[in-house]
Amino acid sequence: MFDQHDTAARVLVLTSRAFDFPAELPPNVRYVGPQLDDPDWTEPAELPPGDEPLVLVGMSSTFMDQADLLRRVVAALDQLPVRGLVTTGPEIEPSAVPGAARIRVVRSAPHAAVLPHAAAVVSHGGHGTVTKALAAGVPQLALPLGRDQPNNAARVVAAGAGLRLKSTAKPRAIAAAMRRLLDEQGFRTRAAELAAVLRADTATSAAIDELEGVTRRADGMVRD
């Protein structure tokens, strides 16, 4: 697999250089900005009523045995003066994660529509959710379950835009971390600074430009 990276004409990294740790990349690697589209299986979701700060919760869209973690997050949010919108994803039934008076549990919700209303995000640290939250300027708590998630969580913490806990964290610890995200302005300030960079990167056509450039060279064509 790694040999393919070395021999490819281009390796496109779908994130922002501002999100990554500083590194000297191979000459065929390009950052082209995050892709922030919502999956086609998302459905509209009604926000919980009230004026309390809204916390969006989203774990993996694939099965990572995350139902227990989602239940602990619900228990944590229920200790706080917040509203919660918890999305279970397509692999976990919402009925497996009972909600509470101010916490609504649904299968999915379009992050693009919900994030402008959110005061904080809780996630597994998946790249999609992490970058969408950052692009919206929303601080976040990551509870990595595996794969690339610990690395993404480390970048969030290093950027000052959020916190990280183990996926085994108890509700009390999750609630304490959430209080910090909501009360300490520095997290939101740093998330907002990153948001400006990520949105600028997303607005470019860098990915298309790189693909078209490789195609032109392969075809021996020269265009402006």
Mean pLDDT by 10 residues, the chain (224 residues): 83 90 90 87 91 93 87 96 94 90 93 94 93 95 94 95 96 97 96 92 85 77 48
> What is the reported pLDDT for 4?
81
CA dist., res. 152 & res. 154, Å (int): 5
> What's this model's pTM, rounded to 2 decimal places?
0.86
> What is the reported pLDDT for 221?
54
CA dist., res. 73 & res. 171, Å (int): 6
CA dist., res. 134 & res. 110, Å (int): 16
> What is the reported pLDDT for 156?
95
> What is the reported pLDDT for 117?
95
Which domains does the chain show, CATH number per domain?
2-33+204-219 (no CATH), 54-201 (3.40.50.2000)
Specify the DSSP element, H or E, that contains 31: strand 29-31
Question: What's the chain's Rg over C-alpha atoms?
Answer: 19
Nearby residues of 104 by Cβ (< 8 Å), 6 or more positions away: 45, 46, 47, 48, 83, 84, 85, 86
> What is the reported pLDDT for 120?
97
